Structure 1
Amino acid sequence: MRHLVSIKDLSNEEFSVLVDRAEHYKKVVKAGNLTENQKNHVKLIGKTVALVFSKRSTRTRISTEGAAAFFGAQPMFLGKDDIQLGVNESFHDTTKVISSMVSCIFARVNKHSEIQQLVEHSQVPIINSLCDKFHPLQAVCDVLTIKEHLDYTKNKLKIAWIGDANNVINDMAIACLKMGMDVAISTPPGIEMDPEIINAGLEISKGNGTKLECTHNSKEAATNADVLVTDTFISMGEEFAKVAKLKQFRGFQVNSELSSLAKPNYKFMHCLPRHHEEVTDDIFYGDHSIVFEEAENRLYAAMAVMDVFVINKGDFSAGPDSVLN
C-alpha cells in the first residue's frame, strides 16, 4: 500500500505522473462534459473519504472535499473538536477505527511524527495534507501552476524562495528539482534548511544537472529568477513569537525592489493565506502574480492524488481511465 507522505519519497517519474494527472483532471473539469463527469463520478461511489484535520484550513478542505465529491465519495470532515484523537484516545486506536470504515485518510496535523503514526497503523492510504515538515499536495499544485505559465518542460527555470525554512519549501524544492528546475532558497540569518532536505536535493541535482543554492541574501536568490515564491513568516502555532519573527525577517518582503532583480516575465507565487509583511499589494495583486490560479490548482492536485493512491491503489502506471479500486 502506498501513502503520500512527502515528494521526497516519490521517484522523478512518479511525481511527474501526479502533475500530469492534475493537468488532465483540470481539463476534464473545465470541459464540463457530462458523460466524462459521470464516468469519473462512479470511481469511488459508495466510499467515504476521511479528513482528519488538527489545523484549520481553507484551500485544503475545499479541494479535498471537492475531489472526493468529483469521484463520487462522501467526504467526512473530522476536526480536532469532533473526534477523540489526542484527547481520550491514542493515535493507534483512532487510526485503526477510522481506517476500517473509509477508503483513505487525508490528514492535516501538527507534527510529522503524527503522520508517521497514521501510516504505521492505517489500513488505507494516508495522504499528508500538511504537517510541520512536509506539504506534498501544495507541491503538486505549485509545479502544475509553474508548468502552465512558464512550462519547465521547454524552458530552464530558476525558482527563488524568499522566506522561512518550512514544510512548503521542503516539498517544493524537491519537487522543482525533480522536474529539472534550479532552486535558490533564501532564509534570514539564523534560519537554516533541514539538512535532510538539502541532502536529498543535492542528490537529485547530481542526477539531473539542476542546481540547489541556499543563502541568507534575499537579493542574491531573487536575481534572474523566473518565479519568486514566499509564504507566511509566522506559521500556525508560532503566533507567540510574532514580534521576534518580524524583526528577523526584515529585508525579506517581496516588493518592487526585490522583484526588479528577477527576470522581466517573472511570476509570483504564494500558497496563502497572505500577510502584508510577506509581499506588498502591488506584487500580490499585480500582473506577475499567479496566486489565485495556484490556489485553484489545489483542487486538481487533490484529484490527481486521490486517483493514483486511492482509485488505482498506488499504481502510477495506471492511466486516468483505469479503476483498480
Structure 2
Amino acid sequence: MKHLLTLKELDKQTLTAIIQQGIEIKNKPERYYRACERKGLLMLFQKTSTRTNLSFQSGIQQMGGYPVTMDWNSSNFRISPIKYEARYASRNCDFIMARLKNHSDLLQLAEHSRVPVINGCCEKYHPCQALADFMTIYEVKGTFLRCDADVCGNPQ
C-alpha cells in the first residue's frame, strides 16, 4: 500500500509513470470506465474545496467507483483520536482522500489507515495540484527536462 502525502516519496520514474497514466486516462476514458468498479473513495474534508471535491467525485464515478463525502467537523474525527477513526473508516472504503488543515493529522491518518491515503491538500503540501500542473507541462512539452536558452529562446 502506498500513500500519496507529498511528492517527495516519488522518484522521477514513478512520477513520470503516474503522469503518463493520467494523460492516458484523460485521452481514452472509455478504457478506464471500470478501473475502480465497486471501489469506494472516502473524501474527508476538514477544510472546504470546490475543485478537489468535484474532481475526486467525478474521477471515481467515471471509473466505476463511488465517493463518500465526510465532513470532519460533522463526524467523530472531530472528537475521537484520529487513529481510532482511521482504523474504522479504512475498513469501509478502498482509499481515502483527505483535505486537512494540519499535515500532522494527515500523517496520523495515513499511519493508522489500512488503505491508501491521498493528501487532497494540507498546510504544507498539495500533491494533487502539483501532479495536475506537472501533467499539463508534460502534455505541452512532452518532457520534464530543463529548457535551455537555445531551445526555448529565453536567456538563462
TM-score (norm. length: structure 2): 0.88
Q: CA offset at residue 135 of structure 1?
A: 0.8
Q: Is the 8 A contact 2:99 2:119 kept in 1?
A: yes
Q: CA offset at residue 43 of structure 1?
A: 2.7
Partners of 1:80 and 1:115 in 2: CA distance: 12
Q: CA offset at residue 152 of structure 1?
A: 5.3
Partners of 1:145 and 1:40 in 2: CA distance: 20
Cα–Cα, structure 1 residues 85 and 181, in superposed 2: closer, same or farther, change >3 Å? farther
* Partner in structure 2 of residue 69 of structure 1: 61
Q: CA offset at residue 45 of structure 1?
A: 2.1
Amino acid at match of 1:99: S
Partners of 1:141 and 1:100 in 2: CA distance: 29
> Does structure 1 residue 181 correspond to structure 2 residue 139?
no
Larger radius of gyration: 1
Cα–Cα, structure 1 residues 148 and 47, in superposed 2: closer, same or farther, change >3 Å? closer
Partners of 1:84 and 1:137 in 2: CA distance: 26
* Partner in structure 2 of residue 96 of structure 1: 87
SS in structure 1 of the partner of residue 96 of structure 2: strand
Q: How does 1:15-30 map to 2 (within 5 A)?
A: 15-29=15-29
Structure scoring higher RCO (CA < 8 A, sep ≥ 6) equals: 2
* Partner in structure 1 of residue 139 of structure 2: 148
* Partner in structure 1 of residue 14 of structure 2: 14
Amino acid at match of 2:112: H
Give the number of aligned pairs. 151
SS in structure 1 of the partner of residue 84 of structure 2: helix
Percent sequence identity over aligned pairs: 28
TM-score (norm. length: structure 1): 0.44
- The Cα RMSD (Å) is 2.0
Q: CA offset at residue 40 of structure 1?
A: 2.5
Partners of 1:72 and 1:125 in 2: CA distance: 18
Q: Is the 8 A contact 1:152 1:181 kept in 2?
A: no
Unaligned runs of 5+ in 2: none
SS in structure 1 of the partner of residue 77 of structure 2: coil
Partners of 1:68 and 1:18 in 2: CA distance: 16
> Does structure 1 residue 45 correspond to structure 2 residue 10?
no
Indicate which of 125, 132, 137 corresponds to 2:123.
132
Cα–Cα, structure 1 residues 26 and 41, in superposed 2: closer, same or farther, change >3 Å? closer
> Does structure 1 residue 111 correspond to structure 2 residue 76?
no
Q: Is the 8 A contact 2:25 2:32 kept in 1?
A: no
Partners of 2:15 and 2:89 in 1: CA distance: 28
Deviations 1:265-299 (Å, cap 9, x if unpaired)?
A: xxxxxxxxxxxxxxxxxxxxxxxxxxxxxxxxxxx
